[in-house]
Amino acid sequence: MRLTAWEEERLLIFAAAELARRHRSVGLRLNAPEAIAMMCDAMLEAARAGRGYAEVEAAGYGAVSPDEVIDGVRELVDDVRLEVLLDDGARLIVLVDPLRRGGRSGSDAALGPEPDAARGPEPDVALIPGPGAIRPSPGEDPAAEGEAPKALPRIHLEVRNGSRRVIRVSSHFPFDRVNARLEFDRAKAAGSHLDIDAGSSVRWAPGETKTVPLVRFGGTGT
């Protein structure tokens, strides 16, 4: 057989999935490893049968329904990554939120703010959010926040993309040093960067003009 570790690992998935099928067949609801194994096994089998990428992916999403898992298991499965052997070779498939827990930010939003403690206990235990849930802070709690941001000078600049290509600029790039094809008053931008969240960026289509907020860098400037 000349089995590689890669094939042995797929046997491990099969064994776990077979166990999960046995448990499901006697009416047991699945735990997180069982649910993930079932999804992976379904995709491996679909790939073995010669199905295409989209069908294999669909087999993964359809392998386990949320009501087949133990309460609180949906929240334990965020993404499932698996490489399957399609007819054009090995391919990565990522199932995102396959048990439809709603995504981290979405489920947080659905929770709403902390209930007012003075109103007494919550009426329904079933409303307790799932494992690892985040209850957003009910409001701005200055004592809880870090050091208040120092007010740094802010300006707005009109910026035109004179390039034939799309240009994006990220949050902390020194704005006076961006691509020369962005046309604006560079002197005014000296020592500043886009006043947007860390790791965000702004996009200019060819010929597009946008007014963007800039903020001075803090720090030593050295």
Question: 51 to 110, contacts with another protein by CB under 8 A?
Answer: 70, 72-73, 75-76, 80-83, 90, 92, 94, 103-106, 108-109
Q: Which is nearer to another protein, 37 or 64 (CB)?
A: 37
150 forms part of the interface with another protein (CB under 8 A): yes
Q: Which amino acid is at 40?
A: C
Residue 40 has a CB neighbour count (10 Å cut-off) of 25
Q: Which amino acid is at 20?
A: A
34 forms part of the interface with another protein (CB under 8 A): yes
Nearest approach, Cβ of residue 87 and another protein (Å): 18
132 forms part of the interface with another protein (CB under 8 A): yes
Total binding residues toward another protein, as defined by CB under 8 A: 83
CA distance 46 to 51: 6
Residue selected from 18, 122, 158, 208 as contacting another protein according to rule CB under 8 A: 122
Give the side-chain half-sphere CA count within 13 A for 216. Answer: 12
Nearest approach, Cβ of residue 76 and another protein (Å): 5
Phi first, then psi: give them for residue 194, nearest 5 degrees.
-60, 135
Residue selected from 96, 134, 166, 205 as contacting another protein according to rule CB under 8 A: 134
Per-residue x/- track, 165-194, another protein (CB under 8 A):
---x-xxxxx------------------x-
Residue 118 has a CB neighbour count (10 Å cut-off) of 5
Give the H or E element holding residue 54.
Answer: helix 53-62
196 forms part of the interface with another protein (CB under 8 A): yes
Helix (H, G, I), strand (E, B) or coil at 82: strand
Helix (H, G, I), strand (E, B) or coil at 45: helix
130 forms part of the interface with another protein (CB under 8 A): yes
Nearest approach, Cβ of residue 45 and another protein (Å): 14
Residue 72 has a CB neighbour count (10 Å cut-off) of 15
120 forms part of the interface with another protein (CB under 8 A): yes
